Amino acid sequence: MSDTQFDQNAWLARIGYSGPVTPTLETLNRLIFAHSHSIAYETLDIMLGLPPKLDVPSLQHKMIAGKRGGYCFEQNMLFRAGLWSLGYRITSLQGRVVRGLAIDAPRPAIHMLLKVELPEGIYLADVGFGNLAPTCALLLAPQIEQETPHEVMRFIDVGGELTLQALLNRGWQHIYRVIPYPRYDGEYEITNWYTATHPDAPYQGNIIVAKPGPNRSRITMYNARVTVRDAEGHAEKRWLATEIEFRDVLRGEFGLNMSDQQIDECVAVMKAKGTGDAPHPFFA
């Protein structure tokens, strides 16, 4: 990636960040917090028949200039471009999502992650998991309980793969297993195409949006259900009924720059293809 492809100033302005830009752990934590609170996790373009593009100009056009969100590949590739522009040393990784499943479930690698090398150690950065993405960098070491701006998190070793867990009201909930080997961007392209186009993936028929909220809360939208969960895991839920409510939530609470027509089309697709209020383990 050439320096001319990525507009660092536009990215920092988009996430409302005006702090130090030296490539330190403190800066990384501030950038993760700012990015995740400003750019929502969302998969709505897939509902509109538009599989995500992962090149840097497309990511900037959509998520920075267009003021939209994105899912894991989009979020972490944009964030990686930003970190590279600041001088961070990064290795691209993948993870096996086990949220709501057995911790050793034989899962494919469908999630993108970033490993950041710092003087303090090796850290994980991830702004693209949605309702449980860590809101600060996490030391990639097992059996250390780590405070974040939201949940307490830790890694445990499962067959050589560090498994991220979050402490919620039902105890430790596992999220994904980190594959410790570097990945090429071509592997993300293949996985992105699969997750965006396969008929059994949840994204084509379901409205899925998530964003960290104030006071350590998280807000998640799965079809008509909007859930606000506190850091201990207690959840308040409400259900949307009209297109106007969908527009207000997507544009207001999640900050998505979408037209009435786009939102109404997503609602129509949801009604035709979605799983309704059936829980999905990744977006519980």
Residues designated catalytic: 72, 111, 126
Distance, CA of 272 to CA of 141 (rounded, Å) = 45
Distance, CA of 215 to CA of 255 (rounded, Å) = 18
Tokens encoding 88: 């961070």
> Per DSSP, which regions of the chain are E strands?
41-42, 89-97, 111-118, 121-125, 138-139, 153-158, 161-168, 171-179, 208-212, 218-222, 225-229, 235-239
Q: Buried b vs exposed e over 52-86: b needs ≥16 C-beta within 10 Å?
A: bbbebeebbebbbeeebbbbbbbbbbbbbbbbbbb
